[in-house]
Amino acid sequence: MRKTIIVSNRLPVKITRKNGEIVLTPSEGGLATGLGSVYREGNNVWIGWPGQEVTDVMEQTELKTELAKLNLLPVYLTAEEINQFYEGFSNEILWPIFHYMSTYARYEQSYWDFYIRVNEKFKEAILAVAEPGDVIWVQDYQLLLLPGMLRADLPDASIGFFQHIPFPSYELFRLIPWRVELLNGILGADLIGFHTFDDARHFIGSCVRLLAYHASANTITVNDRSVMVETFPMGIDNRKFESLSSTAGVQNQVQVLAKRFQDIRIILSIDRLDYSKGILQRLQGFDLFLQNNPWAIEKVGLAMIIVPSRDTVPRYKELRDQIDQLVGNINARYRTMGWSPIHYFYRSFPLEILAALYNLADICLVTPMRDGMNLVAKEYVASRIHNNGVLILSEMAGASKELIDAIVVNPNDANAIAAAIDEALEMSLPEQQHRMKSMRQIVAKFNVHHWVKLFMATLDDVKKTQQSMLAR
Ligand code: GDG
């Protein structure tokens, strides 16, 4: 029976040990939820790095056996591979370039050598289990070479690729010394998916200009193969957030928090620590709002959660220090004996607390400099079961293409952020409801299950069309 092989850098699982025994906790992340219905079925499998270095061969075998029970297959990476392939090439070259922060990129030859080596390691793991007729779906920017490597060994395989982060304009992409190899790698897929039309357009533009390939609408001709480039805006499990909103546990949390923040309008901000998320600029916007609106003193509060991420990398550590400083500065200038403008948390919270905050917040402030999609914006919308609340959303987030009833701002414009907060706080309830209702319909209709189904069905169609063309 034909199977589906999902491949991503990280496996959707957290591994811990209790009394020497391996404990596997499945991830609750959006991708894991969406693909859960796929990889858990039959003999389907998800291949990826288990998230930690495991050097002992006995331990590797033991972990592999445990993971197999969840249809997961590990690719073990050494500390140096993680450092050079993941932290190096993926996060110090691709991440900054793809998020339009080109001056942050460091083009090290050794990063590239390891990027090839690790993509090959993934290829070997796939070849060990792939059979004719299988469908292989590769996820994200850490594995851009993999579709091409697979195509060379499995010329007839059905290969899909989806990129979760933006694809930059040609002018940015061309800066990468290994740009041609990267494009050829991606083009090994039969179907290439992005969150937005602009990402897809940028990718096609780079293929035409750097490889001189012919493109017609959303199809690129690669030698004798037709490769389709399509837009699949990723959704969330909206039902999960809707039902969490009405559980007793979450409602209790909401009560506790509401009591704590009595008479204070709450603005919520949630991100991983990352320079692409526009956290400093957001704080400057909030500062300006307080400056322009003295009435907000003791009446408005910003709850800001930053989830630790990559903070051993100097660039991220520096950002964290800058955030600490700016938050301290704003709080010191505006706080009163009984009130602070910013409640800043540098850690992650259990999903129930997150759901309670989505419920409590009058405003959700999402202002990345660049973001492939941004699922926080959609989770806030899905959680608003009473249709009140206002979303302020950066026009640079993929989500802004769908959630057009948000207040959409340029994240570089502190004045615009300040004005948007003011507008959101002043917005009448009927208008809030009108906007939230239409956004909730979109989030419900184009949820993560729809995303998975549509991608898989399109890949199936593309393959069938290719085969019927060959038969002619
Ligand atoms: C990449 C792209 C694209 C956050 N804090 C906590 C927590 N979270 C969860 C949120 C949300 C997820 O993390 C963050 O997702 P985003 O989409 O906002 O951002 P990235 O991590 O950068 O994801 C992005 C995405 O891939 C999917 O394609 O949208 O553009 O950059 O789900 O809920 N979860 C828990 N505690 C927290 O404190 N449990």
- As given in the structure block, the two tokens for residue 209 are 């200009």
**Pairwise CA distance, residues 443 & 389, whole Å:** 15
- Going by their DSSP bridges, the two strands 363-366 and 265-272 should be labelled as parallel
Closest CA to 320 of 331, 335, 309, 333: 309
C-alpha 307 to ligand 1 mean position (Å): 9
- The whole-number pLDDT of residue 30 equals 77
Residue nearest to ligand 1 atom 38, measured at CA: 348
Residue nearest to ligand 1 atom 35, measured at CA: 351
Please indicate whether residue 193, judged by its CB atom, sits closer than 6 Å to ligand 1.
Answer: no
C-alpha 230 to ligand 1 mean position (Å): 23
Residues 6+ away with beta carbon under 8 Å from 88: 106, 108, 110, 111, 114, 115
**Pairwise CA distance, residues 322 & 326, whole Å:** 6
Residues 6+ away with beta carbon under 8 Å from 441: none
C-alpha 376 to ligand 1 mean position (Å): 6
- The whole-number pLDDT of residue 26 equals 85
Please spell the DSSP secondary structure of 58-87, one letter per residue: HHHHHHHHHHHTTTEEE----HHHIIIIII
| Separate counts of helices (H) and strands (E) for the chain | 18, 17
Please indicate whether residue 349, judged by its CB atom, sits closer than 6 Å to ligand 1.
Answer: yes
- The whole-number pLDDT of residue 241 equals 95
- Going by their DSSP bridges, the two strands 214-216 and 219-222 should be labelled as antiparallel
- As given in the structure block, the two tokens for residue 382 are 């899905």
Question: Which atom of ligand 1 is nearest to 350's Cα?
Answer: 39
Please indicate whether residue 402, judged by its CB atom, sits closer than 6 Å to ligand 1.
Answer: no
**Pairwise CA distance, residues 321 & 329, whole Å:** 12
294: exposed, middle or buried (Cβ count in 10 Å: 0-12, 13-18, 19+): exposed
Question: Which atom of ligand 1 is nearest to 29's Cα?
Answer: 32
- The whole-number pLDDT of residue 333 equals 97
Question: Which atom of ligand 1 is nearest to 274's Cα?
Answer: 22
Local confidence pLDDT in tens for the 472 residues of the chain: 789 999 999 999 998 888 888 899 888 777 887 888 888 888 999 999 999 888 888 889 999 999 999 999 999 999 999 999 999 999 999 999 999 999 999 999 999 999 999 999 999 999 999 999 999 999 999 999 999 999 999 999 999 999 999 999 999 999 999 999 999 999 999 999 999 999 999 999 999 999 999 999 999 999 989 999 999 999 999 999 999 999 999 999 999 999 989 899 999 999 999 999 999 999 999 999 999 999 999 999 999 999 998 877 888 999 999 999 999 999 999 999 999 999 999 999 999 999 999 999 999 999 999 999 999 999 999 999 999 999 999 999 999 999 999 999 999 999 999 999 999 999 999 999 999 999 999 999 999 999 999 999 999 999 998 888 777 7
C-alpha 470 to ligand 1 mean position (Å): 42
Alpha-carbon distances of 201 from 213, 215, 272, 388, 394, rounded to whole Å:
14, 11, 27, 35, 20
**Pairwise CA distance, residues 163 & 139, whole Å:** 6
Residues 6+ away with beta carbon under 8 Å from 146: 7, 119, 122, 123, 126, 138, 185, 188
**Pairwise CA distance, residues 277 & 370, whole Å:** 7
Instruction: For this complex, say whether ipTM is above 0.95.
Output: yes
C-alpha 463 to ligand 1 mean position (Å): 32
Please indicate whether residue 270, judged by its CB atom, sits closer than 6 Å to ligand 1.
Answer: yes
Please indicate whether residue 306, judged by its CB atom, sits closer than 6 Å to ligand 1.
Answer: no
Please indicate whether residue 351, judged by its CB atom, sits closer than 6 Å to ligand 1.
Answer: yes
Please indicate whether residue 372, judged by its CB atom, sits closer than 6 Å to ligand 1.
Answer: yes
318: exposed, middle or buried (Cβ count in 10 Å: 0-12, 13-18, 19+): exposed
- The whole-number pLDDT of residue 309 equals 86
Question: Which atom of ligand 1 is nearest to 277's Cα?
Answer: 22
> In a 3-state reduction of DSSP, which class is residue 142?
helix
Q: Kindly report the CA angle at 445 between 440 and 449, in degrees rounded to 5?
A: 120
C-alpha 148 to ligand 1 mean position (Å): 28
Residue nearest to ligand 1 atom 30, measured at CA: 372
**Pairwise CA distance, residues 199 & 182, whole Å:** 16
- The whole-number pLDDT of residue 1 equals 77
Residues 6+ away with beta carbon under 8 Å from 284: 326, 414, 417
C-alpha 287 to ligand 1 mean position (Å): 25
